[in-house]
Amino acid sequence: MKDCFQNIMADSLTGALFAVEGIKDAAVILNGPTGCKFYHSAISDYQFPRELSFDPLNYPEEFYFGQPRIPCTYLDGYDYVYGSSEKLKNILRDIEGKEYNLLAVVNSPGAALIGDDLNGFLKSEVKDTLCFSIESTGFSGDFGDGFQKAVIKILESMCMEPGKVISKSVNLIGISIYNKYYEGNIKEIKRLLNLCGIEVISTLCAGDDFHTIKNSNKAALNVVLYPEYGCEIAKWMEKEYHRPYILCDDGLPIGFESTEYFIKNICESLEIDPYYALDEIKGARARSFLYISRFNSITGLPKGSSFSIRGEASVVYPMTKWLYTYLGMVPASIQLMESNYKKLEQKLHSFLENIGFEDVFEKSIYEEAGEIVFADGNTIAQLRLKNKKFTGIEIGLPSLGYIDLMPKTIMGSKGALMLVEQVLNGLQFL
């Protein structure tokens, strides 16, 4: 079967759109054809719902096409010759009075070739709402390129004034609503940091509102969760607002050891005692050990069972280390998403080389799927069509469509427990 995964990889346009869509009281207009709208609008509304209904008859407006999010100018041949200003004028009139605090217009790659002066147009047409445009998100960039470019544009447009720094406070940078469990991940990180007396000021464009983001320059420290999606933002904030930042050198806090390192690193930077968070992680470790020991005494597993992972290096690296060192599982194939940030990719390769599994690095997951597959829903669905025998655990988008009423997490101590739970049950019913 043809590998269609690359056809739906999130690109720089997706990153830019979801940066704005991740703000509660902001709206983004997509200046482009309808084909660029539907997937983005559906995913945004699924990940960060604001409306009560999916019924397309509830959204009959001209530019919405039966969806509540990301109105689109539906460019056609005429617009590519004569420009999109008339449709933009109508769409701005349509959303006027909806009480957004921020408005953005983002060109699709094709619309970027028209040459419309979007900034000049917005200045003349929008008077009472802060607005900006992104003329081009890039023609071959990845999600991180577009996301970071848009977040920096958002911060620039806010013109934040220097404020008094709040001691023992951080921003979480590089996480977006396009991360499968972004809401649960944020709640878990906040919970652990709060145990240490650390306040999270903002998560930037991952569910905060306009005014919360505008206070982000008051945080004492920026914590970059996904370097692929946040490193450039942190560097920009350091330059503009003199805010120091730290990277997750070992990737995201996935697994107990990585979570402990993550908490210690932040607390050391802020000169805070991490005792209460570490004690909580210790309790989660004990609970995990109980269930793993009972399961192992009957089945001998999970030690020796195989796994495959496909995702960002910041996810794949700590997860691979944890599954191998903590659960004794064996990697069958490891595949990474494209990114300009290579440090964690290099660390992953070195780790696999050191344990004698360098041959699984970038090995196709379709050729060798382990007993447990950690991947996006699309990859899991394709493997099922190939009649592979495995248990799939979703860690990214696109999703298989499971409706998560309770926010779930793959980070922190609760995330470690959830992953252990899914691995044990996955092996039990394989």
| Residue reference for tokens 């607005």 | 131
Q: Read out DSSP for 257-322? A: HHHHHHHHHHHHHHT---HHHHHHHHHHHHHHHHHHHHHHHHH--STT-EEEEEE-HHHHHHHHHH
What's the pLDDT score for residue 117? 80
Q: Which amino acid is at 160?
A: M
In 135-210 the beta strands, taken as DSSP E runs, fall at 166-173, 199-202
Q: Are 209 and 23 in contact (CB under 8 A)?
A: yes
DSSP letter, residue 140 = S
Q: Is the pLDDT of residue 18 over 50?
A: yes
Fold for 166-272, please state it. Answer: Rossmann fold (3.40.50)
Q: Would you state the torsion angle of the CA atoms of residues 402, 403, 409, 414, taken in this order, to the nearest 10 degrees?
A: -100
Q: Is the pLDDT of residue 426 over 80?
A: yes
Q: Is the pLDDT of residue 161 over 80?
A: no
Q: Is the pLDDT of residue 360 over 90?
A: yes
Please say whether the dihedral angle defined by the alpha carbons of residues 277, 278, 279 and 284, taken in this order, is positive or negative: positive
What's the pLDDT score for residue 291? 98
d(CA 146, CA 17): 8
Kindly report, residue by residue over 275-312, the tens digit of the pLDDT: 999 999 999 999 999 999 999 999 999 999 999 999 99
Strand order from edge to edge, sheet including 372-376: 330-336, 306-311, 372-376, 391-396
Total count of residues recorded for the chain = 430
Q: Are 394 and 379 in contact (CB under 8 A)?
A: no
Kindly report, residue by residue over 49-87, the tens digit of the pLDDT: 988 887 887 788 889 999 999 999 999 888 887 778 888
Helix, strand, coil abundance in the chain, percent, nearest 5: 50, 15, 35
CATH class belonging to 277-428:
alpha beta
Name every residue whose Cβ is closer than 8 Å to that of residue 188 and which is 6 or more positions away in sequence. Answer: 409, 411, 412, 413, 414, 415
pTM here? 0.94
What's the pLDDT score for residue 232? 96
- Report residue 3's pLDDT band, with 50, 70 and 90 as the boundaries: low
Largest CA distance in the chain: 72
What's the pLDDT score for residue 91? 87
Q: Is the pLDDT of residue 96 over 80?
A: no
What's the pLDDT score for residue 335? 95
What's the pLDDT score for residue 4? 52
Share of the chain above pLDDT 70, in %: 98
What's the pLDDT score for residue 8? 67
What's the pLDDT score for residue 227? 94
Query: Any idea where the domains of the chain sit in the sequence?
Result: 10-157, 166-272, 277-428
What's the pLDDT score for residue 141? 86
Q: Are strands 219-224 and 306-311 parallel, antiparallel or unpaired?
A: unpaired
What's the pLDDT score for residue 165? 94
CATH class belonging to 10-157:
alpha beta
What's the pLDDT score for residue 38? 92
Cα separation of the two ends of the chain: 23
Q: Is the pLDDT of residue 1 over 50?
A: no
Lowest mean pLDDT among 56-70, 109-123, 134-148, 355-369: 109-123
Q: Is the pLDDT of residue 382 over 70?
A: yes
Range picked from 112-121, 127-136, 298-307 for highest mean pLDDT: 298-307
Q: Are strands 26-31 and 219-224 parallel, antiparallel or unpaired?
A: unpaired
Q: Is the pLDDT of residue 28 over 80?
A: yes
Q: Share the mean pLDDT of the chain.
A: 92
Q: Is the pLDDT of residue 88 over 80?
A: yes
Kindly report, residue by residue over 237-281, the tens digit of the pLDDT: 999 999 999 998 889 999 999 999 999 999 999 999 999 999 999
